[in-house]
Amino acid sequence: MCLAIPMQIRTIDGYIAIAYAKGIEREISLYLLQDRALAPGDFVLVHVGYAIQKVSTADAEASWNLYDEMQMLR
Amino acid sequence: MPGPHDHAKSWLTRIAALPRTGKVRILNVCGGHERTITHSGMRTALPDDIELIPGPGCPVCICPEEDIYDAIQLALNEDVMLVAFGDMLRVPVNVPKREPRSLEQAKAAGAGIQPIATPAAAAAIARAHPDRQVVFFAAGFETTMAPVAAMLAEGVPDNLSVLLSGRLTWPAVAMLLDSGEAAFDALVAPGHVATVMGADEWQFVPQQHGLPCAVAGFTPASLLAAFHSILGQLHRRQPALDNCYPESVTAGGNSLAKSVLARVMRVTDAKWRGIGMIPASGFTLQPAYSAHDARRRFISKTTAANNPAKEARKRIGEMPPGCDCAAVVLGKISPTQCALYGRACTPRDPVGPCMVSDEGACRIWWANGMRADATGRKPDIDAARA
Ligand code: SF4
Ligand code: SF4
């Protein structure tokens, strides 16, 4: 239920960001990372619409590949 | 750049090259981990003496039956709009046949129930309907409770209340280990819980119980790295806590998220479905937020004292008859050992919560083609368990 998925930040407006992953654009909250410097282009781990951690590009890609595979099965 | 599978292969080789220390039972406490393990066929790829056991890894499976019952009754009997994470909608409770036994059935019977994907949607719905009472039935582990706390900390309208059913993962493992009935030799700690709460929460596993422990992420490579670490710890007889998900997990976790959590919620004793009370394993709202507590706002009106029907309800808090979910979530039996698995109980027509949730062990095993044989046992896994 609480899997977190890496998304790439497109735009930031206060605590709200538009983030992108695998063809989906979504509004996410940066409230739980408000003490971190974040900029468009950064990857964050998103759980139930809230970014909980900043991650590297490589880690984001590894996770995306994994989720792609899992989706195929469902 | 090597792909995740190249890494996975090299980890498998490294694991195979380790000196064997005899049979090792490794418990995971995260449905996400179980999904990767089952989906990637890791059980067959690993040496025979390594047994991977799914544990209490899903907040849907262990959400108290009473809480779901309360949510259903609230939605049916009060003029409210009830919102919940979609996974919660199909979980069955124990009621007489003619009554709605899940939120989904209550919705079909006309109750105002809506699935949401984020706590932010609960606040948005309440804002959009200022004239209605909106109740957010919020179940989840620490990872999910931090966003729920964030939503409340940011400020929500008066017409929103929360029916909180949050749980902490480590106390369930501590309870298992303290009981002396733990059927495992090592632990893989949950990567996303640790992302928020920090890896150090799991220090008690090596320090107090002398068992190896490693935090893992959700790729096969990260899990295999954790198994490799655990086997090495066993071999060296030096149980420790290893962090095999450093991309996301730090020793202390997301300190801001932890402080938001602590500001909004406090830790309390709490019930786990089929398991019972576990000390200091649940979240409740801090006094400053109790005005948004749905239990205060609604449920106290329908407590057992003035609602004899509720008092008389059969099997309160239990799993459905015949369902072995309680043993499954404690890692005591594997899903295929439940007599109902794949027979009376399938994802289409689930009997127990472990077959409902995407992260329930029964559902994961079924979705990945694990079938019970004629005796209800899956030989390759249960042979090792016997
Ligand atoms: S990420 Fe958290 S909620 Fe999701 S399966 Fe793992 S432990 Fe459970
Ligand atoms: S197979 Fe169904 S009834 Fe049996 S333990 Fe799993 S969810 Fe419960």
Domains and CATH numbers, chain B: 23-366 (3.40.50.11740)
Question: Measured at the alpha carbon of residue B272, what is the angle toward residues B271 and B275, in degrees to the nearest 5?
Answer: 110
**Chain A residues interacting with chain B (CB cutoff of 8 angstroms):** 1-4, 15, 27, 29, 31-35, 45, 47-50, 52-53, 55-56, 58-59, 62-63, 65-66, 69-70, 73-74
pLDDT value of position B6? 63
Check whether A1 has a pLDDT greater than 80.
Answer: no
Which atom of ligand 1 is least distant from the CA of B359? 5
pLDDT value of position B118? 96
* Distance separating alpha carbons of residues A45 and A3, to the nearest angstrom: 10
The rounded Å distance from CA B317 to ligand 2 centre is 16
What rounded mean pLDDT belongs to chain B? 88
Confidence of residue A68 (pLDDT cuts 50, 70, 90): low
Q: What is the ipTM of this complex?
A: 0.90
Mean pLDDT along residues A13-39? 95
Q: What is the pTM of this model?
A: 0.88
User: Which ligand neighbours the alpha carbon of B345 most closely?
Assistant: 2
State both tokens at B359. 């992260």
Q: Which regions of chain B are under pLDDT 50?
A: 1, 303-306, 374-386
Mean pLDDT along residues A28-49? 96
Q: Which residue has the tokens 């804002």?
A: B127
Confidence of residue A4 (pLDDT cuts 50, 70, 90): confident
pLDDT value of position B329? 84
Return the SS3 of B337. Answer: helix
β-partners of residue B187 are B27, B213
Shortest distance between the Cα of A26 and any Cα of chain B, in A, equals 11
pLDDT value of position B71? 95
Size of interface A-B (CB pairs under 8 A): 112
User: In angstroms, how far is the first alpha carbon of chain A from the final one?
Assistant: 15
Q: Which residues of A touch B368 (CB under 8 A)?
A: 73
pLDDT value of position A60? 79
Chain A contact for B265 (CB, 8 A cutoff) = no
Mean pLDDT along residues A18-42? 95
* Distance separating alpha carbons of residues B55 and B43, to the nearest angstrom: 15
B220:A66 CB<8 A: yes
State both tokens at B380. 């390759």
